[in-house]
Amino acid sequence: MRILQGISSVISSIKTVADLHSQLSRVHEQNAELRARVGQLERALHPEGELQFAEGVYWLLRDGKRSGPYCTYCYDVDRRYVHLTAGATKGTYGCALHGANFTTAEQNPPSPAIAVSGGRSIRRLLRDW
């Protein structure tokens, strides 16, 4: 009698595992469908590419290339991609729509470390001075 109860318990456990496996398969399918839907919605939200905020302005990333810069105010308020117009100085831009000015890292690139005698940079010499 105990052997039959044991066999029945094992069969019940196998059915439970099979049901869990089936449910897990459905969850995987739903996950894949939801990921595809999220991708569709992200592409609909930013059809031109992935929006990135860097250097105080927006850029669009597509196929590994960056385009822009775009006005942060115009996008944040109106969800419009307004290309910034380059100013007279490198790294300065302006929005023709609402007149804001922007400065990117192009204007103030990090100063290069210039090696001097003994392998010490000017920056290090000034710091140690």
Applying CB under 5 A, the residues found at the interface with Zn ion are 71, 73-74, 82, 95, 97-98
Q: How far is the CB of 109 from Zn ion (least distance, A)?
A: 25
Q: How far is the CB of 110 from Zn ion (least distance, A)?
A: 28
CB distance 58 to 71 below 8 Å: yes
User: Taking the alpha carbons of 86, 89, 93, 95 in that order, is the dihedral positive or negative?
Assistant: negative
Q: How far is the CB of 75 from Zn ion (least distance, A)?
A: 8
Nearest residue (CB) to Zn ion, 73 versus 91: 73
Nearest residue (CB) to Zn ion, 18 versus 77: 77
Query: What gap in Å lies between CA 120 and CA 38, rounded to an integer?
Result: 52
Q: How far is the CB of 54 from Zn ion (least distance, A)?
A: 17
- What burial letters (b/e) apply to 59-89, b meaning 16+ CB within 10 Å? bbbeeeeeebbbbbebbeeeeebbebeeeee
Nearest residue (CB) to Zn ion, 51 versus 97: 97
Nearest residue (CB) to Zn ion, 57 versus 95: 95
